[in-house]
Amino acid sequence: MITTRGLVKKYGDFEAVKGIDLDVSDGEVFGFLGPNGAGKSTTISILCTLLKPTAGDVEVAGIDVRRHPDEVRARIGLIFQDPSLDDQLTARENLEFHGFVYGLSAAVRRERIPEVLEMVNLEDRAKSLVRTFSGGMKRRL
């Protein structure tokens, strides 16, 4: 499911990730633990295609994250450590924005946003400002 070979991420002379080899099999639960500054968030950002590796090979679901990042993003779910929602917008407006950022057409967004709101049991809050949501509601959204 996840494979890295010699994964490296450098920022100038600083090496944030130093040659990680990792195998996580389908159905396996994996915890990524370590002290602050160990490269955990950087590695996760690479796996999620938010950062490009400096060196090494990285595959998620058998897909190369460098060559096919859109295909990787289409197959993963991600909940950010820090909220990625704008609490000045409604639930629907946040989904509209994120759909746009990920390149979904207006037609696809019109179709999927009601489905997503129903899936996370927030259809009745589509027009509510996110700042009025509980922490759990924000995570679902």
DSSP code per residue over 53-81 = -SEEEEEETTEETTT-HHHHHHH-----S
Specify the 3-state DSSP secondary structure of 138: helix
Taking only the tens place, the pLDDT of each residue in 46-69 is: 999 989 999 999 999 999 999 999
Do the bridges between strand 63-64 and strand 14-24 make them parallel or antiparallel, or are there none, so unpaired? unpaired
- Write down all domains in the chain, each with its CATH number in brackets: 2-75 (3.40.50.300), 91-140 (no CATH)
Judge whether residue 12 has pLDDT over 80: yes
CA 83/CA 109 separation, integer angstroms: 21
User: What confidence score (pLDDT) does residue 81 get?
Assistant: 63
What's the pLDDT tens digit per position in 96-134? 998 988 889 999 999 999 999 999 999 999 999 999 999
Between residues 23 and 78, which one has the greater pLDDT? Answer: 23
At residue 34, the pLDDT reads 86
- Mean pLDDT along residues 67-79: 87
Separation CA 104–CA 117 (nearest Å):
16
Q: Is the dihedral of CA 130, 132, 138, 141 positive or negative?
A: negative
Q: Say what the pTM is.
A: 0.64
